[in-house]
Structure 1
C-alpha cells in the first residue's frame, strides 16, 4: 500500500527503539503530560457545566423564565391577560404575583424578607416550589386565612415551625391616636420549603395572592404575570414577541436579566479555568520541542543520508512533524478517553473517595451544592481535542525546520 515517505519514516522513528533512553523518557513524559492536561480539562469543565446547570435549575425552580409587568404601578386587567397568555402555544404556564419587601418578627427575632403573593393553583406552572416543600402543604394557603410559607433558614432564624404565628410588618404606615404606626398583620406558618440556596431559603416568604393584595394595598391589581416556556433558552426572545402582540404597554424581563451577573461570572470562571488548564497542555506539548530537538541530534547521520539520496528539506521536515504529531495525537486520545471516563463517573467516584477517607469535599452547610455534578458536553471535548492537537503540531515546527536545514557534508564529517 502506498504511503508517503515522510509518514513512513516518521512512524518508523516513533516505533523504533531509541539508543538514547533520555529521549524516550522525554517523549513518554510529553505524551503523558498532554494526556493528563486533557483529562483535567475535560473533567473540570464538565464539573463546572454541572454546577452551572444545577444552579440554573435551582434558581429557575423559584424564579420564572420571564415576567410581564404593567408599565405603571400595577397590572389591573391581570385575570383576562393571564388566561390569554395561558392559551398562547408558546407559553407553558402563566401565574400572577404580587411582590413586596417586609419585616417578619417573632418575639425578639426580627428579619427582613421578600414577600411574594402567589396563586397556589397556578404557582406549580411557573415554579417548582411545590417540589421543595419539606413541611406542611402549599395548598393550605387560602385566601383570607393569612397563611404564610417560609424558607427553612428563615423559619429557623425566627425560631418558628408549621402552626406558629409570625408578625409581618409592611413599610407603609398608618395614622392613629397613638401616632404614626407601621402596618402589622399576624400570619400563621402553614409550610416550609428548602431549595438549598440561601438567597431563597433565608429571605423569601410566600402568601396567598388575595392576602398580599390586602396587605400591600394593591387593590385588585398585581405586580405582574410570571411565564414558563418549554425552552428556557428561548425565553428572552419569546417574552418580547408576546409583549409586542399584547395591547398596551408592558415591561418585560427574563431569567437572563435577573441573574445576568451571576451567569456572566460563571461563564468567565469557565473561560479562565480553560485557559489555566490549557497552559498545562501547552507545557506538555512544548516538551515535544525538547524531544524532537534531541531526536534531530540523534538522527544527524540519517538526515544527511536522506539528503544525499535526494530527499528535499520539505521531506525531512515532514518526517519530524509526523514523529511529533504522533506523540501529540496519542497523548490527546489518552486524555480524551480518561477525561470522558472521569466526567461520566465523577458523581460515583467522588462519594466513594469521601467514604473511603472519611472526608467531605463540599460541605452542604457552606456551599450551595453538596455534591459534584457533571455535565459532559461534546462541544467542550471537541474544543479541547482540537486545541491540544494544534499545540502539538505547533511544537513540532521549529525542530522539524532545524532538521531540514541540516547540511549533509557537515553531519557526515564525523561519522
Structure 2
C-alpha cells in the first residue's frame, strides 16, 4: 500500500515538473498556487487584526465598563451589603465595588459641557488608576476633588489645580439645579470618547453632588467569564431584596463584540469563496494535464497501473499546488501580521496622517493577535478545497481507455 502511494507521488511530481509542459499550463498552475497563498496570507492577517481588537476590547476597554451592574431604581440601595455577600459567595465573581453614577453639566464661564460623573471608592477601583498619575489617584480621596479626562479638560481649558463648577439636576421635583465647585486634582488619558465624557470623584463627593446622605446607588461586579455576565447578573439579582436594574456589559457595549464576531464570520465566508476561486485554477490545470498526458496515461495503463493508482496520481498533483500555496501563504501571513503595526506606523509617519485617531478610538495602533486555531483553520480550508478540486480531473483521467490514449 505504501509503495503504491510512493509511486503515485513520484508520478505526480513528474507530471507537475515535466519539461514538455506548455508555458500556458505552467502559468495556470503557478497562478493557482499564488492565489491560494495570497488568500491564506490576507485572511490570516485579517483574522489576526480582528483577534487583536477583541483582545483590546476584553483586556482594556472592559476595565472601565462594569461586567455586571446592579443599580437602584430610585434613590440609594437599601441593602448593598447583601449584594457584596452574594458576590463573595459566587465562584465566578472576582471583585465587587460600590459606585454612584450621575449626569451633570460642567460650567466654565458661559460654556456648559455634559459629562458623566462616576463616584468610586479608590481603594476598591484600580482599573482607571493605570491611566492617571499616582499623585492624582491619591488626591482623588480628598473631598471636593475631581479627575477629568484630558479631552474634556482641553475643551474646558482647565488644568490641574483649577476649580470647575458642576451643575446637577435635582431629583426632587422642580427645584433649582445644584451647583458644586470641585478642584481638578489630575487628568486621565484612556483614549477615545472616554476622555471627553467621563469625570471621576470619590463616593463622598458624589453623594454631595446628588444630595444623598448615605449609601450608594449601585454595585459593580467583575466576573471571570465575560460571556457569562448575563447569567451571573440574573443568578445574583433574583436573590436581592432591593428593586434594582440588572445590567451587564453585553447590553451596553456588546455591539462592539458582535460587530467583531460578525466581521470574523464574513471573513471566513469570503475566505472559502476566494480559495474556491483559486482552486478552479487547479481544476483547469489538471484537466489540461489529463488531455496533454493522454499518451503517457495509456502507456502507464499498459504497464499495469490501475485506475485507482491513476486517480491518486492526479489527486496528489493537485494537492501539491494547494499545499505549497497554503504553506507559503501561512508563513507570509504570520510574518506580515507580526510586522503590521511597525509597517503601519512607518506609513503614518511618511503620509503624515493617522489611521486610528486617539481622540476617537480607544486604541491608537492596529492591534494584532495571532491564534493557532485560525492558522490551522485557514490551512485546512485551503487543503480541503484543493483536494476537492482534484476529484473531477482524477476521475476523468481514470476513465480514459488504453487504446484511445495510445492511438491519440
TM-score, normalised to structure 1, is: 0.87
CA change 1:13–1:367 in 2 (3 A) is farther
Match of residue 297 from structure 1: 291
Larger mean Cα displacement after TM superposition, 341-350 or 32-41: 341-350
**Offset of residue 301 of structure 1:** 0.7
**Offset of residue 342 of structure 1:** 2.3
**Offset of residue 80 of structure 1:** 6.2
- 1:24-67 per-residue CA deviation (whole Å, 9 max, x = no partner) reads 22212211221121111111210121122123333212112222
CA change 1:399–1:109 in 2 (3 A) is same
Match of residue 152 from structure 1: 150
Match of residue 381 from structure 1: 375
| Distance in 2 of aligned mates of 1:396 and 1:361 | 46
Counterpart check, 1:3 vs 2:4:
yes
Match of residue 137 from structure 2: 138
| Distance in 1 of aligned mates of 2:353 and 2:58 | 24
Larger mean Cα displacement after TM superposition, 50-59 or 74-83: 74-83
**1:134–1:193 contact (8 Å) kept in structure 2:** yes
**Offset of residue 132 of structure 1:** 0.7
Q: Secondary structure at the match of 1:375?
A: coil
Match of residue 43 from structure 1: 45
Q: Which residue of 259, 274, 280 corresponds with 1:280?
A: 274
CA change 1:174–1:185 in 2 (3 A) is farther
Match of residue 22 from structure 1: 24
CA RMSD after TM alignment: 2.9
Q: Which residue of 30, 33, 50 corresponds with 1:31?
A: 33
| Distance in 1 of aligned mates of 2:152 and 2:324 | 55
Larger mean Cα displacement after TM superposition, 327-336 or 226-235: 226-235
**Offset of residue 353 of structure 1:** 5.1
**1:152–1:192 contact (8 Å) kept in structure 2:** yes
**2:348–2:355 contact (8 Å) kept in structure 1:** no
The count of residues paired between Structure 1 and Structure 2 equals 405
| Distance in 2 of aligned mates of 1:146 and 1:403 | 85
| Distance in 2 of aligned mates of 1:300 and 1:88 | 72
CA change 1:116–1:248 in 2 (3 A) is closer
Gap runs ≥5 in structure 2: none
Q: Secondary structure at the match of 1:64?
A: coil
Q: Secondary structure at the match of 1:295?
A: helix
Match of residue 52 from structure 1: 54
Gap runs ≥5 in structure 1: none
| Distance in 2 of aligned mates of 1:14 and 1:247 | 76
**2:4–2:309 contact (8 Å) kept in structure 1:** no
TM-score, normalised to structure 2, is: 0.88
Q: Which residue of 162, 177, 183 corresponds with 1:188?
A: 183
Match of residue 224 from structure 1: 218
Match of residue 163 from structure 1: 161
CA change 1:173–1:66 in 2 (3 A) is closer
| Distance in 2 of aligned mates of 1:306 and 1:27 | 23
